Amino acid sequence: MQAIVYTQYGSPDVLQLREVAAPQPADGEVLVKVHATGLNAADRYALSGQPIIARLITGGLRRPKHTILGADVAGVVAGVGRGVTQFQPGNAVYGDLSGVGSGGLAEYVCAPEGVWARKPEGISFEQAAAVPMAAVTALQGLRDKGQLRAGQRVLIYGASGGVGTFAVQIAAALGGEVTAVCSARNADMARALGATHVIDYAREDFARNGQRYDLILAANGYRPIGDYRRALAPGGVYVMVGGTMSQIFQALLLGPLLSARGGGQIASLTARPNRTDLAYVGELLQTGKIRPVIDRCYPLSETPEAFRYLEWEHARGKVVINVYPSGS
C-alpha cells in the first residue's frame, strides 16, 4: 500500500510517499481502508519532534517510534481480527488513533476496536476525518473543564482554527453566549457558526474592553495569563487548550496558584480521545447543531504541502488528506 512515511524528525521535507506492507488486524483490531485523514497540530509536533515533550509522548526520543502520522481517520472496515464484535467489513467508521500510534496517512490502518465509531449518516468521509480530535477537545474543554452552563458568556480565543470552529459551535449548542476572537477575515464565518460577538484581535483587546466572561477557552495565540484572568467574571473559568509554550507553562505552573488566590479558576486541558464523547459529537453532527469547517483538502501525495499550510497556523478550520476520495 502507499503511505506517507517519516523516519527522522524534521520539516515536511522528511515526509516520503512510499510503498509499504499493508497492516493485518491482530486480535481485537479493525483494519480500515482509509478514505480521509484530518491533520492536527499534534501531527505537526510529532513530525518536528518539537517541543521535546512531543517525543516523550510518542515514545521516540531520537527518531519517531511510529513512522506513519495521521490520527483522525475516516474510512471503511476492510477486515477484523478475532474477538471483534461491533464492526464488520463494509461499515463506515471514524476515530482518533492518537493514543494507539496513529497511522492514518496510508491506504490502510489497523487499530483496536475501541477507538472506532460508526461514521454519522449524511456526512462525507472528508468531513468525518475533520472531526474527532478537534471536536472532542472543544467538547472536553467547554463541558468538562469549563463546566459550561446555558446562558453563560463564553469567549473563544483562536475561534477560526481547527479546535476553535468546533468550540464556537459546541458552546452555542450548549446554550452559551459566544464571543469569538479571530482575525477580521474570519469574522463572518465565526458569526455563521454561532458567535453573537466577534473580536478582531488585531484591532481590539478583549482583556481591556470592559467585558467579562464566565468561561474563556484559549485554543491558540499568545496572551499572558493575567489578561485572561482580568477578563474573567467572578467565579469564571479559563481553560488553556493550546498556544505557545509560555502560554502552556504559565497555565500549568501558575494556574493552581492563581486559582487558589480566587477571582477565577485557571485550568489546563489534556484532551483524551474517547468513544462516548465522539458519539456525543456525532449526535451534534447528525442533528445539524455543528458542522466541520474544512479549509483545504490535499491528495495523499501532497501531504508535505498540507503540513506546510498547517504550520502557518491560520488555517480556517481543518486541513484534510484525501486518501481514497469519496465514491472511489
Ligand X SMILES: NC(=O)c1ccc[n+]([C@@H]2O[C@H](COP(=O)([O-])OP(=O)(O)OC[C@H]3O[C@@H](n4cnc5c(N)ncnc54)[C@H](OP(=O)(O)O)[C@@H]3O)[C@@H](O)[C@H]2O)c1
First to last CA, the chain: 16
Helix (H) or strand (E) holding 276: helix 275-286
- Exactly one of 27, 205, 283, 313 binds ligand X (CB under 6 A); that residue is 313
Rounded to whole angstroms, the Cα distance separating 90 from 64 reads 32
Rounded to whole angstroms, the Cα distance separating 223 from 229 reads 11
242 near ligand X, rule: CB under 6 A:
yes
- Exactly one of 49, 75, 161, 194 binds ligand X (CB under 6 A); that residue is 161
Binding marks (x or -) toward ligand X, 125..144, rule CB under 6 A? --------xx--x-------
204 near ligand X, rule: CB under 6 A:
no
Rounded to whole angstroms, the Cα distance separating 202 from 212 reads 19
Cell of 256: 493552581
Point out which span in 2-10, 30-38, 240-248, 258-266 binds ligand X (CB under 6 A). 240-248
User: Looking at beta carbons only, is 87 or 127 nearer to ligand X?
Assistant: 127
Helix (H) or strand (E) holding 36: strand 29-38
Say which amino acid occupies 228. Answer: Y
Q: What angle do CA 78, 84, 86 make, to 5 degrees?
A: 85
Binding marks (x or -) toward ligand X, 169..198, rule CB under 6 A? -------------xx--x------------
Rounded to whole angstroms, the Cα distance separating 117 from 274 reads 10
- Exactly one of 201, 249, 280, 324 binds ligand X (CB under 6 A); that residue is 201
Q: What is the nearest approach in angstroms of ligand X to the Cβ of residue 181?
A: 7
Binding marks (x or -) toward ligand X, 19..58, rule CB under 6 A? ---------------------xx-----------------
12 near ligand X, rule: CB under 6 A:
no
Rounded to whole angstroms, the Cα distance separating 20 from 23 reads 9
For residues 29 and 70, the answer to whether their CB atoms sit within 8 Å is no
Give the residue carrying C-alpha cell 483496536: 112
User: Looking at beta carbons only, is 194 or 243 nearer to ligand X?
Assistant: 243
Q: What is the nearest approach in angstroms of ligand X to the Cβ of residue 165?
A: 8
- Exactly one of 169, 220, 265, 303 binds ligand X (CB under 6 A); that residue is 220
Q: Which of 109, 94, 84 is nearest to 27 (CA)?
A: 84
Q: Which of positions 265-284 make contact with ligand X (CB under 6 A)?
A: 269-271
Point out which residues bind ligand X (CB under 6 A).
40-41, 133-134, 137, 158-164, 182-183, 186, 201, 219-221, 241-243, 269-271, 313-315
